């Protein structure tokens, strides 16, 4: 084999090797970080990880955004996400969390949440094209890098309140409902560690608001399981499921 042929062969093999390494590296990124993809391209999570009691007592919802399932165009919709509210392995704990809501017409469900971060939840659940829609924030705009995407969610108006002020947010929603917006969204920073006492207090306040406005649809959901806590607490929750409560369900639904 002539020298120039050897050089060409060497260069050809070098290009092939580089391409193989590049494809492998690119593939490893997609495998280890699948949640950068749109929700409909994300991997499936089967309900086999849920107990039979959960399967029997709750509606199981796929990864499709809840807006596609529960948004009622005939009335105002209030979507509230409770940060770090997940599905505990002990079913009785979730039942206690939901107890303040049981006096209202309701539907309880479990929803697949494939990434354990709030940014993912907000991008999926709050992105909208509704007219007269309002986003309420009660946390710093730098939290979850929210300032990088908050204006791309499609809201007509963004209202910023004092940090972690649940009462002010409830009062603001109450006030906004007199203006008949189509969509109100709020992520409540109740407890980063999933404190159930605080969650149940917030649930009671939301229930009181929903009772005051029986014609308004309220959809309450978790962002993800608690992650800013010890491994023992984190592992006491299902990693890919969050609770959902839909309030003021009409009798025909």
What's the CATH number where 130 sits? 3.40.720.10
Same structural domain, 59 and 163: yes
Among 141-145, 168-172, 239-243, the range scoring the smallest mean pLDDT is 141-145
Phi then psi for 47, rounded to 5 degrees?
Answer: -80, 5
- Whether 38 is in a domain gets the answer no
CB 90 within 8 A of CB 236: yes
The tens digit of pLDDT for each residue in 17-70 reads 665 655 444 443 333 333 444 444 444 444 447 899 999 999 999 889 999 999
pLDDT at position 47, please? Answer: 45
Same structural domain, 103 and 179: yes
Same structural domain, 144 and 168: yes
Same structural domain, 91 and 138: yes
Same structural domain, 115 and 214: yes
Same structural domain, 25 and 123: no
pLDDT at position 42, please? Answer: 46
DSSP state of 163: T
pLDDT band for position 116 (50/70/90)? confident
**Number of domains making up the chain:** 2
CB 153 within 8 A of CB 122: yes
Same structural domain, 72 and 131: yes
Distances (CA, A) of 214 to 32, 169, 193, 210: 44, 19, 31, 6
CB 235 within 8 A of CB 201: no
pLDDT at position 2, please? Answer: 64
Same structural domain, 110 and 234: yes
Among 45-49, 69-73, 226-230, the range scoring the smallest mean pLDDT is 45-49
Mean pLDDT of 191-212: 94
Same structural domain, 12 and 71: no
Same structural domain, 20 and 138: no
Same structural domain, 118 and 191: yes
Same structural domain, 133 and 12: no
Q: Tell me the C-alpha distance between 243 and 196, whole Å.
A: 13
**Segments forming the whole domain that contains residue 207:** 45-247
CB 216 within 8 A of CB 177: yes
Residues paired with residue 112 on neighbouring β-strands, in sequence order = 241
């Amino acid at each position: 084999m002539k020298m120039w042929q050897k050089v060409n062969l060497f260069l050809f093999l070098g290009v092939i090797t580089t391409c193989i390494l590049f494809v492998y590296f690119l593939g490893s990124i997609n495998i280890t970080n699948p949640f950068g993809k749109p929700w409909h391209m994300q991997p499936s999570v089967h309900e086999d990880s849920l107990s039979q009691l959960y399967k029997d007592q709750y509606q199981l919802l796929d990864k499709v955004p809840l807006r596609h399932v529960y948004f009622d165009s005939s009335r105002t919709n209030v979507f509230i996400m409770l940060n770090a509210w997940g599905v505990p392995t002990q079913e009785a704990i979730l039942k206690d969390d939901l107890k303040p809501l049981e006096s209202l017409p309701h539907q309880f469900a479990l929803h697949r949440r494939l990434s354990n971060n709030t940014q993912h939840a907000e991008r999926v659940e709050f992105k909208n094209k509704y007219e007269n829609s309002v986003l309420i924030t009660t946390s710093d705009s730098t939290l979850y890098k929210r300032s990088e995407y908050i204006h791309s969610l499609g809201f007509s108006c963004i209202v910023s309140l004092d940090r972690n002020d649940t009462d002010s947010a409830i009062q603001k929603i109450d006030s906004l409902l007199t203006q008949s917006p189509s969509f109100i969204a709020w992520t409540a920073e109740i407890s980063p560690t999933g404190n159930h006492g605080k969650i149940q207090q917030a649930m009671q306040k939301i229930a009181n608001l929903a009772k005051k406005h029986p014609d308004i649809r309220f959809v309450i959901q978790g962002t993800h399981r608690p992650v800013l806590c010890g491994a023992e607490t984190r592992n006491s929750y299902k990693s890919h499921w969050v609770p959902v409560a839909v309030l003021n369900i009409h009798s025909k639904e």
